[in-house]
Amino acid sequence: MDMEFLHEVEGGVCAPKGFKAAGIHCGIRKNKDKKDFALIVSEVPCAAAGVYTQNLVKGAPVVVTRRNLADGRAQAVIVNSGNANTCNSDGEEVAKQMCGLVTGVSGIPARDVIVASTGVIGLPLGIAPMAGAIDSLYSSLGDNSADAAEAIMTTDTVPKSVAVEFELGGKTCRIGAIAKGVGMICPNMATTLIFITSDVDISSVMLQKALSADVKSSFNMVSIDGDQSTNDTCCIMSNGLAGNKPVTDLGADYKKFCRALGYCTVKLSRMIAKDGEGATKLIECRVKGARSVKSARNVAKSVIKSSLVKAAMFGADANWGRVLCAIGYSGELVDPYRIDVCFGSAAGEICVCRDGRGVEFDEDKAKKVLSEDEVTIDVDLGSGRYGATAWGCDLTYDYVRINGDYRN
């Protein structure tokens, strides 16, 4: 995809005009060195859109945010980490109280606030730590996207952020985003926690259309452990301060906006996958030769989700039979005798399967290729002209260690 029309800039969610952010420690997390409370605010109301987990067990913030975004408007995001506010009898009330905290310090109506929580499921979340810190959080608003990105982290090892600049009709426009997520990640029409800002003037209808389409080829193509979270939320706010001609149809400006959005979401998807709990390497599965895009996506995700493939990648073992096995149970109609598989990385490329049958290859070279920290699995189904890409990570001893002691 040609991306010469844009370039990356600093600033994350504060890169677009009119946005400020903050992140502090309020006391939800025991470690005082870890931020756990974040706020993102636009100086003017925004068109807004969201996609959410399809897990039937939903976090209270998801329910409240969906209700608040029903009119396609928002102006602020408030987030806590350390507690998911899920499966609690008073969860929705606490989520609404969090929105009310924003109203109290900013005057922004509670109905225009996006609320999210992430952390341990099933623990009561008290409003007191956040109520006691909201003044400090609000006064910290500024060009502090990095602090907000840190405050939404759980077992993430690095903050995840991106921002780009491009032009629409001669006007300079920007999109910025932050994300968290390294475990319990196998989205379905959702993501982990992703917050995207933009200064493009675009209708809420077109914004929702763009986001809903985008996640199908970005965040929905990420799997770390096959578990779908209860709190997956991806929201975008666009305040129009770039001054471009309003984007209200499927014309050239909409398509350009979608490409810029896609650049950001794919980059974040790769960051999420690479930072998977305990991971030592990013795995990218690129499928081509499928009968449809849907088929290509399902095959790519099946390979990425396979525990046996992930374990083989951890051990730098070119066990290509596990790849074919995962393709076979993907639910897609494929011809096993047309499938080619190759492994690649910065150390080179090695083909291990042609027409569904193994070929001789250098095991030492394969080991070297698969020992890099970013590895590709290229699959040619030989049955069509469609393709897709999915991202995941290896399965390591540390993943079990982290999740065997998650609440401590």
- Over residues 229-241, the mean pLDDT reads 85
Cα separation, 130 vs 140, in Å, equals 14
pLDDT band at 200 (very low <50, low <70, confident <90, very high): very high
By annotation, the residues acting in catalysis are: 191
- 238-257 pLDDT, tens digit per residue, is 999 999 999 999 999 999 99
Residue 109 contacts residue 103 (beta carbons within 8 Å): yes
Q: Where are the domains of the chain?
A: 7-273, 282-404
Cα separation, 221 vs 392, in Å, equals 9
- 270-286 pLDDT, tens digit per residue, is 998 888 777 899 999 99
Which distant-in-sequence residues (6+ apart) come within 8 Å of 89 by Cβ?
none
Q: What is residue 307's predicted lDDT score, i.e. its pLDDT?
A: 92
Q: What is residue 352's predicted lDDT score, i.e. its pLDDT?
A: 97
Residue 183 contacts residue 276 (beta carbons within 8 Å): yes
* Superfamily name with CATH number, domain 7-273: L-amino peptidase D-ALA esterase/amidase (3.60.70.12)
pLDDT band at 207 (very low <50, low <70, confident <90, very high): very high
List Cα–Cα distances, 119 to 30, 201, 208, 377, 383, in angstroms. Answer: 13, 34, 27, 32, 43
178 three-class SS: strand
pLDDT band at 58 (very low <50, low <70, confident <90, very high): confident
Helix axes 60-68, 91-106, angle to 10 degrees: 50
- Over residues 361-374, the mean pLDDT reads 97
Cα separation, 173 vs 6, in Å, equals 10
Beta bridge partner(s), residue 174:
165
- The amino acid that residue 138 corresponds to is Y
- 3-46 pLDDT, tens digit per residue, is 789 999 999 999 999 999 999 999 999 899 999 999 999 999 99
Report H helices in 191-251: 204-214
233 vs 227, more confident: 233
pLDDT band at 187 (very low <50, low <70, confident <90, very high): very low
Which distant-in-sequence residues (6+ apart) come within 8 Å of 195 by Cβ?
13, 40, 77, 79, 114, 116, 148, 152, 177, 178, 179, 234, 235, 236
Note if the pTM is more than 0.85.
yes
The CA angle 216-12-39, to the nearest 5 degrees, is 95
List Cα–Cα distances, 296 to 128, 155, 174, 331, 347, in angstroms. Answer: 48, 31, 31, 11, 26
Closest CA to 149 of 134, 166, 163: 163
Pick the CATH number of 282-404 from 3.30.9.10, 3.90.1150.10, 3.40.50.1370, 3.10.20.340: 3.10.20.340
Q: What is residue 89's predicted lDDT score, i.e. its pLDDT?
A: 86
- Mean pLDDT of all residues belonging to the chain: 92
Q: What is residue 186's predicted lDDT score, i.e. its pLDDT?
A: 53
The single residue listed with the structure tokens 């706020």 is 39
- 63-107 pLDDT, tens digit per residue, is 999 999 999 999 999 999 999 998 888 999 999 999 999 999 999
Residue 351 contacts residue 320 (beta carbons within 8 Å): no
188 three-class SS: coil
- Over residues 124-132, the mean pLDDT reads 96
